[in-house]
Amino acid sequence: MSIVGARLDYRLLHGIVATQWAPHYNPQRIMVVDTKTADDPLLKDSMRLGKPAGVACSIISEETALANFKAHKYDGQTVFLITEDPKLLQKLLDIGETIGELVLGMSRNTSAGRKLSSRYAVTPEDEPVLSAIAKQGVPIYIQYTPADKKEVFTEK
């Protein structure tokens, strides 16, 4: 399995991800998939500074991520993938990738849509995507840090 864990978090690679989630998954590569960040050299470089030592880091667009996975570029590597968009994860499943688990970290707007926790609300647009991901056997948890209790995502 290449994607050992995925996290939906609008802040992408930040302190909690670097100091708690990365050691939790112990990946060989942290992958941030966000086109806006990938296209902004300053933002990309500053985010890269936060990665843990000894771990490869890719900050790439959705298009590049899909192309790289299709080309089996990450075969043999363990990847911790961070994105804001659950539709990307569905696309990865559609091309045959597996995802060990999906953690819902922090959404951009915690008051829009169905509130799952104090830090995460799922929009009406994303709810069916998460449901489809869960139906494909990917465990989905609402969990801010690895030390927090895992709450299982349940469909509406």
Per the structure, the complete domain to which residue 117 belongs is given by 3-152
By CB atoms closer than 10 A (0-12, 13-18, 19+), residue 27 is buried
Instruction: Give the domain CATH number at 139.
Output: 3.40.35.10
SS3 141: strand
Count up the domains in the chain and report the number. Answer: 1
H or E segment to which residue 42 belongs: helix 41-48
The whole-number pLDDT of residue 1 equals 56
What is the DSSP pairing of strand 121-122 with strand 114-115? antiparallel
The whole-number pLDDT of residue 119 equals 93
Spans of the chain, pLDDT less than 70: 1
